[in-house]
Amino acid sequence: MKLLFNGALESGRQSIAIDLSGLSSGEYYVRIQYGGNKTTKKLIIK
């Protein structure tokens, strides 16, 4: 597991840039926590 971002963002739509250069191509799962909610999204690196 790798921590990509740890911090607080303002409410509303946000975007962050993350460095994926150390990861091999393949499928990864990203867990996002906000407030009391959690969601998991698939990330594909080619």
pLDDT at residue 39, as a whole number: 95
Quick: pLDDT tens for 13-37. Answer: 988 898 888 889 999 999 988 888 9
pLDDT at residue 21, as a whole number: 87
The pTM of the full predicted model, rounded to 2 decimals, is: 0.64
Q: What is the 3-state secondary structure (H, E, C) of the chain?
A: CCCCCCCCCCCCCCCCCCCCCCCCCEEEEEEEEECCEEEEEEEEEC
pLDDT at residue 37, as a whole number: 92
Q: Is the pLDDT of residue 3 over 90?
A: no
pLDDT at residue 8, as a whole number: 87
Beta-bridge partner residues of 29: 42
